[in-house]
Amino acid sequence: MRMIRLLCALVLACTACSTSPAEKAAENKPCTPGFTCTTLRVPLDRQRPDGPSLDLAVIAADNVDAPRGVLLLLTGGPGQPGVPLLPNLRRNLHPDVLREYRLVMFDQRGTGPDGINCPALQETVGGSDFLTPPATAVDDCAQHIGSAAGYYGTPDTVDDIEQLRQFLKVDRLTIDGTSYGSFTAAQYGLKYPGQVRALVLDSVVPHKGFDPMGVDLMAASAGVLKEACRQDPACTTDPVADVAWLVQHVVSGTDLMESLAVASLNSVNPSLKGIPAILNSARNGDHSGLKELLERTTSKGLSYDTLSAGLHMATLCSDLRFPWSGKPDRKTALDDAVRRLDPKELYPYDVATARDQLMIQGCLRWPADRVSTYPAAQELTPRTLILHGTNDLFCPLDWAKWEKAHARDAELVVVPGSGHSVQRDPRGKAAVREFLLDN
């Protein structure tokens, strides 16, 4: 889900953890110093335990007797692996946390070197939530995955995590998930509350799901842009009005949503400094800065083992609820839903932006083999920390507020001026340390 994402400036490491098919899985293998790499074999379809299986790479710290147990980090996307990103992401955790917990990551099904690779889709949309995918690329990807396409939903990954817990021989997990990882963590907490010690949900995707047309995200972007302008003394323009004009006259809304969202990553430009000036210059005829922004802040160019576009599509199309759900004529159902949209609720974007979202145009063509089913419980019961940045253009702050309202024991920490992936911000890192070491 939109989930998601940590898309930029990710240093891939731990290459020694990758193994060839012939080397997979009988015993643990040293990899990054202080960690051991191994493989978890899971059934593709849990209703057919003797059917096809998947081998998921796992990396675990060697402090097996850590006093506070296992801390499982979940990455975003959907489509990011875990094992190669550990050297980068563990820097977001305070050394005290790494001493007190046994840090574990794994490559969720369909990710990493052995994950889903759809070359045409990967080339055209990379890890994007927004860019409109070519129809042929979507069709080729669905054909490539074939009958397995319906077995990459979040509930499948949730059950993989439960198998991982049993594999690690621990009673409970503490789970820290960012973006789409927050959705997965919450879904695990809903289905297996007794196996959860605590949750950290960073840059929240709400466990109820979200509108794949992106209506709430488009509406929230106006407030983020206005606040970013107020925080910058050099900003003297109206970036919201400029975005609206550019979407009508210069650039597609999906392309602009993509670039502004990527810019809001804490690894890129969470303050959005300089962006209002670029938008205003483009409105006044100088498109050079806008062109550079669109080329620089994009999810395109990511390789499948960094963020799999095919897995991204397979998960979203299983997980989300679409206007055509349960209806025989998808296009007619979509057209009806588009006609009901209120342009005022989409501003500064427009109806075309909603219709052309990756999730809409991709999943419109995706085979409806299997739809994700979720736990009946809708209240999170584990102790939970929710982190959100005010400048996040991937996930609206309202999503984090909804999550807190639907959790029994949750604290919401909103970090002013921070963007997507709050644990990259020292203030977010400090909040996680306090929460995880509190008791």
Would you state the pLDDT for residue 32? 86
Rounded to whole angstroms, the Cα distance separating 304 from 324 reads 29
Would you state the pLDDT for residue 24? 41
Q: In what order do the strands lie in the sheet with 380-389?
A: 29-30, 35-43, 53-61, 102-106, 70-74, 173-178, 196-202, 380-389, 407-415
What residues pair up with 385 in beta bridges, in sequence order? 200, 411
Question: What single-letter DSSP state applies at residue 393?
Answer: S
Structure tokens belonging to residue 396: 């609206």
Would you state the pLDDT for residue 159? 98
The SS3 assignment for 359 reads helix
- Does the pTM of the predicted model rise above 0.85? yes
Walking along the chain (439 residues) 10 residues at a time, the average pLDDT comes out as: 39 32 46 93 95 96 97 96 94 96 98 96 96 97 95 97 98 98 98 98 96 95 94 94 98 97 95 96 97 95 96 96 91 97 96 97 91 90 97 97 97 97 97 93
**All domains of the chain in start order, with CATH:** 35-116+144-210+373-437 (3.40.50.1820)
Would you state the pLDDT for residue 36? 95
- Between helix 309-319 and helix 135-145 the angle, nearest 10°, is 90
Q: Nearest Cα to 75, choosing from 53, 61, 57?
A: 57
CB under 8 A, 24+ apart: contacts of 46-49: 46/156, 46/159
Rounded to whole angstroms, the Cα distance separating 413 from 184 reads 20
Kindly state the helix (H) or strand (E) to which residue 251 belongs, with its residue range: none
Rounded to whole angstroms, the Cα distance separating 385 from 75 reads 17
Q: Nearest Cα to 8, choosing from 267, 307, 291?
A: 267
Would you state the pLDDT for residue 212? 95
What is the DSSP code string of 41-74? EEESSTT-TTS-EEEEEEEEES-TT-TT-EEEEE
Rounded to whole angstroms, the Cα distance separating 333 from 321 reads 13
Rounded to whole angstroms, the Cα distance separating 318 from 243 reads 32
**Torsion angle of the four alpha carbons 234, 237, 243, 245, in this order, in degrees rounded to the nearest 10:** -150
